[in-house]
Amino acid sequence: MTTIELARRMAELGEQEDACQAYHIAIQQNQGQDLDQDMEAAVYILRNGGDYKISYTCFRNLYNQGYHREDLLPLMTAVFYEPNIKLLSGRYERNCKLLAKYPYLFRKDFLPFEQLPIRFYPYDDYGFIPYDPAQDRFGDYVNFKHPVVSRNFFKDLDKPILASDVYSQYELEYLCDNVRDSEFVGRENHIYLHYSDWGTFCAHLQCINLRRILETEKIVFLIGDELSQYPIDFSARFGIDYSQFPIKPLGIREVNRLIWHTQLSTHNGGDFFNEVFDSHPNLLVMPSLRFDNITDQLEKIRASLEASQTLSDAFQNLGANCSHRIVEELYHMKDLTDKDLLVAIYFSDKRGAASLDPASRIAPALFFQPHFHNIVYSLGTKNSFAALYSKQYEQVCKSPLFRAFQYIKTFTPMRRPTTSHGATVKFMYQSALESVEKKEEKKSVVSDAISERVLNRSFMIDWQDRLYKDSRLVRFEDGKLNPKATFTALAAFLDLPYTESMTYCSLWGKQDAESYEGNVRGFDPAAIYRTYDEYINDDERYFIEFFLRDAYEFYGYGFQYYDGAPMDETRAKELIGGFERMNHYIRETWRNIYMEAEVSQNGKRVDAETERTVQEKLLEANIEKFSKERLEHAKILLQGLNFVNRHGQPLHMMPKLELDPALLEQPLYH
């Protein structure tokens, strides 16, 4: 019995829920081949309590293919459009009234609602399906509040911002919240928005809300040929001479956007990216900060403010770490957030704010790389799919520090996983030796870095997570071999100008500084070609490449060790048995822990020889435990590299930053 036959049978039996599910599967399997079948399925789902969006999407596709248009358009209009006409027309009329009084829109002949050239059919709580009567066609779903900045508005700050056909509510608010007032920068600094077609502009007024946007009076609307007026001489035309205003110091709450530089894993090239963005004139920027340290610092500042009865108390409690201007602003601030405190910390560090352009047209973004000692994931299953959990990821997701930023851009550096792994083992081992040499109470050890590597899929994102809505993955190798192409593209994605400060590496303004002992300086590509043979062998590399093969393929890394052969449990066990190099460093560093353990029997410490034998057995049992866990992980991953979030929804690869081929200085790394 086919799926469609099963759906029909369920419908005959009155099993509506099961029938709706079967009809949905039938639509997916059909892939638009049998239009009658799709119509049957969509109508049943709509009439019997299924997900209306399945029917809606199916109707749109059928209509655009010319199927029974005379029936579908009235159906869609009656079901999805007419119940919302009052809401749409009301929003349109309110926007028209506001614009009629707005001084910087020079055209006022708004079209009657019935004559608008685009009908927007509400699809869900967030977006619409546009219908163009002239073309007699439905367009793609659009969410005007989708939290993505889609273009490089701030590429050139020599002149006032100019952009064409901006209809995103999110982007309109973004511009108003991040472009400084003309009075603040002592020069004409309006946002010029050019709309090529008046009718299309009017049509979008039924979907967006202009009240908050117009209140700032920052935007100048230019329609069609009015583009020739850009930029307007406000002194001559409106009698406003902004040059009379002194430059106003940046306020804490003018900083509304966060650039989150994520830590994909250890030794992934994060310091290099920090060094490129150091000294950018439109960034509040610091090197990597320990996440726990920064949260502790925020709590201390908040406690000091709460303990301050007067402004003088606040100066006394915080003046050593914050400027008086920042302390005063914090003291008088209502509803103080962690975001406010973090911005204050950045402003108060003269090194991080030293490069800011005080007369810039835009408020700076805050460049933040919260650092963890390690990023560790545990592996489980949910609905027969692999599910991952990371304490560090959960800390970030639940942090009010991130949630308070209205505008977030996220980028993640990636380095070839086997190279990054080798560097990690080297660092772990050196740290362990130092902890012994310094006789630290808590000794460092080499952990099972291979399991940590293959389970760390920070490059896969939860599409429902606000923090990753606007994100890109950037390859470390691209930054080293093709810096101009890489950082031009990254600046464009982050909506920053590509400045001279991005053409070199620096730390607190000092060029080509050694950010960490042993790190390669500047754009020297030597780090790309390090193999770390002393710390990783070929079986370990093969294992890593196989279980991260989807990442290798998606992000353009060629396999150096995995030969494409099929993998089964026997082969995985064989490879794990060859992890001699990894086990060597685990054994050597954990021995320092086990050799300090006292062994007693019946309350009495055993003799030295027996104690040593027991200690060695415990150590080997620990190594064996690692091997068993590796095999259990392999068994789950061999079922397929399919991962889900906590709700059972599939995770997706973070989009890769694409480079302009014309700017490549060397062939792309593979």
> What is the tens place of the pLDDT at every residue in 598-638?
777 777 787 777 878 888 888 889 899 999 999 999 999 99
Q: What's the total number of domains in the chain?
A: 2
Q: Could you give the C-alpha distances from 468 to 259, 364, 473, in angstroms and in order?
A: 11, 21, 11
Asked if the model's pLDDT at residue 254 lies above 90, the reply is yes
Distances (CA, A) of 520 to 219, 496, 515, 523, 530: 46, 26, 9, 8, 11
Quick one: the chain helix, strand, coil %, rounded to 5?
Answer: 50, 10, 40
Tokens 């304490």 — which residue? Answer: 391
Q: CA-based diameter of the chain, in Å?
A: 98
> Which residue segment(s) compose the domain that 599 sits in?
378-662
Examine residue 231 and say whether the peptide bond preceding it is cis (omega within 30 degrees of 0).
yes
Indicate if the pLDDT at residue 483 is higher than 90: yes
pLDDT at position 508, please?
85
Q: Which residue has the tokens 């079922």?
A: 639
The mean of the pLDDT values for the chain is 93
Q: Does some domain include residue 624?
A: yes
Range name among 66-70, 353-357, 627-631 with the lowest pLDDT average: 353-357
Nearest to 135 by CA among 119, 123, 114: 119
> Do the domain assignments include residue 145?
no
Residue 552 pLDDT: 97
Segment 549-578 shows an average pLDDT of 96
pLDDT at 390 over 90: no
Asked if residue 467 is part of any domain, the answer here is yes
Task: Identify the band that residue 161 occupies on the pLDDT scale cut at 50, 70 and 90.
Answer: very high
Query: In this structure, are residues 355 and 367 in contact, taking their beta carbons and an 8 Å threshold?
Result: no
pLDDT of 395 over the 90 cut? no
At 596 the pLDDT is 77
pLDDT in tens, 169-225: 999 999 999 999 999 999 999 999 999 999 999 999 999 999 999 999 999 999 999
Taking 80 as the threshold, does the pLDDT of residue 323 lie above it?
Answer: yes
Answer yes or no: is 88 within a domain.
no
380: nearest Cα among 633, 177, 48, 616: 633
Residue where a domain stops, chosen among 67, 94, 116: 67
**Phi, psi of 644, deg, nearest 5:** -125, 160
Stronger pLDDT, 557 or 642, i.e. the higher one: 557
- The answer to whether residues 638 and 567 touch, using CB atoms and an 8 Å cutoff, is yes
Q: Are 576 and 543 in contact (CB under 8 A)?
A: yes
> Is residue 400's pLDDT more than 90?
no
Nearest to 468 by CA among 221, 222, 653: 653
Strand, helix or coil at 461? strand
- Segment 366-383 mean pLDDT: 83
d(CA 295, CA 305): 16
The candidate with the shortest Cα–Cα distance to 52, out of 76, 85, 34, is 76
The answer, yes or no, to whether residue 265 has pLDDT greater than 80, is no
Separation CA 489–CA 157 (nearest Å)? 17
Q: What is the pLDDT of residues 460-480, one digit of tens each?
A: 998 888 899 999 999 999 999
Whether the CA torsion 299, 305, 307, 312 is positive or negative: it is positive
pLDDT tens readout for residues 500-530: 999 999 988 888 777 667 778 899 999 999 9
Share of the chain above pLDDT 70, in %: 100
Which of 47, 67, 87 terminates a domain? The answer is 67
**Average pLDDT of span 242-252:** 96
Q: Are the CB atoms for 358 and 247 separated by under 8 Å?
A: yes
58 inside domain: yes
Task: Write down the pTM of the prediction.
Answer: 0.93
Q: CB 560: neighbour CB atoms within 10 A? A: 15
d(CA 63, CA 348): 59
Three-state SS at 153: coil
pLDDT at position 150: 96
Q: How confident is the model at residue 592 (pLDDT cuts 50, 70, 90)?
A: confident
341 lies in some domain: no
Tokens 């049509």 -> residue: 203
Identify the burial level of 326 via C-beta atoms within 10 angstroms of its C-beta, where 0-12 means exposed, 13-18 middle and 19 or more buried.
buried
Looking at residue 60, what is its pLDDT? 96
| pLDDT mean over 73-97 | 97
Final residue belonging to a domain, choices 67, 89, 119: 67
Give the pair of three-digit tokens for residue 622: 């620990």
Please indicate, yes or no, if residue 632 is contained in any of the structural domains.
Answer: yes
Tell me, yes or no, whether 415 lies in a domain.
Answer: yes
Structure tokens at 425: 């083992």
Q: How is residue 466 annotated by DSSP? A: G
pLDDT band at 28; cut points 50, 70, 90: very high
> 655: which DSSP letter?
P
**Strand, coil or helix: what is 320?**
coil
Q: Which residues contact 344 (CB under 8 A, 6 or more apart)?
A: 252, 301, 322, 326, 329, 330
With a cut of 80, say whether residue 566 has pLDDT above it: yes
